[in-house]
Amino acid sequence: MDALHRLRTHIAEVPARLATRSVTELAQKVPEKWSRKEILGHLIDSAINNLKRFTDAQFADGPYPIQSYSQNQLVIVNHYQDLPIEHLITLWQSLNTQIVYVVEFLSAETLAHPVQLTTSNSAAYTLGWLIEDYVVHLEHHLKTLL
């Protein structure tokens, strides 16, 4: 699975690339935008939510319903802006490593299990699609973060 290979690459490379940024640069905020630390925090929230989805979808009777989450509020209540960058990097890396461990053992049948987006009436999406979408979302934010 190409998404799994790309995720492993990001887990290996992102910490070193973030280490080249100054603490000031990582915490710098622009009005109405997240700082780099907050973007990393958002990616942590995404990993938490998607790890649960990737595990729970395997046992769902019928299409697994994908619930949304309050992205902006989670960034605020988790205080990512105020936490040490080393903690954020370690947490992000650990969560994504666990995602790799879960995903690498999924069978083709499990990857084909349907998932139901709250914005869609059809069950045309699969767990495999959701995993790919997770990595694409991660890569979108890494362009700004790095």
| Percent of the chain whose pLDDT exceeds 90 | 93
Neighbour count for residue 56 (Cβ, 10 Å): 11
Give the type of residue at 19: A
Using one digit for the tens of pLDDT, what is the confidence trace for 21-61?
Answer: 999 999 999 999 999 999 999 999 999 999 999 999 999 99
pTM of the model: 0.95
**Per-residue pLDDT at 120 exceeds 80:** no
Structure tokens at 80: 């990512």
Residues 57, 50: Cα–Cα separation, whole Å? 10
Neighbour count for residue 126 (Cβ, 10 Å): 18
Q: Which band of pLDDT confidence, cut at 50, 70 and 90, is reported for residue 121?
A: low
Mean of the per-residue pLDDT values of the chain: 96
Domain ranges of the chain: 2-145
User: Could you tell me the fold of the domain covering 2-145?
Assistant: Four Helix Bundle (Hemerythrin (Met), subunit A) (1.20.120)
Backbone angles phi, psi at 97, to 5 degrees: -65, -40
